[in-house]
């Protein structure tokens, strides 16, 4: 599933074609994805101007001039691609329709945004912009890891006394929004913290050190266009490249890259997810 860097990469790719532009025609080719689409979705989107394109956790939010916000979740295999952009940001002509092109936005500026999702685990919803943060999918989310609210004090307080492993705690979207399996593994490696350590037993200084490390990992991933492991594509159809920089994720049995360590990357399963780490230098 795309994590924060992948979703932010898609948002940035869509922005030149969508922000300030009018949806000349919205086409909805099926009644649902993971959940049913909102009533009259195509009608409510057609003619609307996208005033702002933002991200909250792993969701893309398009604020419209009609007082509604389009919420988009890419799911496991969803991708949004742009073709025919008159601003010159993209070189692709409009492609022939594909089987899993479930939602299509033809913009007045000539761009076309296509949402393709073979597994149909993605989702879209329309909600009032004024109360968007109260939507059930957004209401309980913690602070954004790249925002000011995600501070050393916040993380130390959130983890104090918790008996869960640090890996599980950082995946808790109520503690910090948008972190997923890949980037938690990478951040814990850089911090030298084993994914099995109980969150509440890690010193405040080490917990605090995770904040800048998490931000650094996410920023580097965004700069690299995210990580393409299976289905992820950027908005121009290109792959992301951060997977070539993984220190631990997917590297089971390979040597640790930390200078002087000499250890071998291992893999364990925590809450049904693979955790990659170096038993030698992560304690």
Catalytic amino acids?
2-3, 58, 273
Write down the number of H helices and E strands in the chain: 6, 10
**Given phi > 0 = left and psi -120 to 50 = alpha, else beta, which region is 84?**
left
3-state secondary structure of 275: strand
Strand 79-83 versus strand 101-107 pairing type = unpaired
Q: Which two tokens stand for residue 270?
A: 């925590």
Report the C-alpha gap between 178 and 194 in whole angstroms.
21
Helix axes 204-223, 181-191, angle to 10 degrees: 130
Report the C-alpha gap between 157 and 162 in whole angstroms.
10
Identify the CA nearest to 93 among candidates 81, 78, 76: 81
């Amino acid at each position: 599933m795309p994590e924060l860097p992948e979703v932010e990469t898609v948002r940035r790719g869509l922005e030149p074609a969508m922000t300030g532009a009018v949806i000349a025609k919205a086409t909805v080719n099926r009644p649902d994805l993971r959940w049913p689409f909102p009533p009259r979705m195509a009608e409510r989107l057609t003619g609307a101007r996208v005033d702002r394109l933002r991200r909250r956790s792993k969701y893309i939010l398009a604020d419209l001039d009609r007082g509604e916000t389009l919420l988009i979740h890419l799911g496991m295999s969803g991708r949004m691609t742009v073709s025919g952009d008159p601003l010159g940001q993209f070189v692709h002509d409009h492609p022939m329709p594909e089987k899993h092109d479930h939602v299509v936005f033809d913009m007045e500026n000539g761009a076309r945004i296509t949402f393709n999702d073979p597994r149909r685990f993605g989702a879209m919803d329309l909600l009032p912009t004024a109360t968007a943060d109260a939507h059930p999918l957004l209401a309980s989310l913690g602070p954004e890891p790249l925002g000011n609210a995600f501070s050393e004090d916040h993380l130390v307080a959130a983890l104090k006394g918790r008996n869960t492993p640090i890996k599980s705690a950082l995946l808790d979207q109520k503690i910090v929004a948008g972190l997923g399996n890949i980037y938690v593994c990478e951040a814990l490696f850089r911090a030298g913290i084993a994914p099995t350590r109980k969150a509440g037993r890690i010193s405040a200084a080490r917990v605090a050190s995770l904040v800048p490390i998490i931000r650094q990992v996410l920023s580097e991933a965004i700069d690299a266009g995210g990580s393409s492991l299976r289905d992820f594509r950027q908005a121009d159809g290109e792959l992301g490249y951060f997977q070539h920089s993984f220190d631990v994720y997917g590297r089971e049995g390979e040597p640790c890259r930390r200078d002087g360590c000499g250890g071998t990357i291992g893999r364990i399963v925590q809450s049904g997810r693979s955790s990659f780490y170096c038993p030698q230098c992560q304690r």
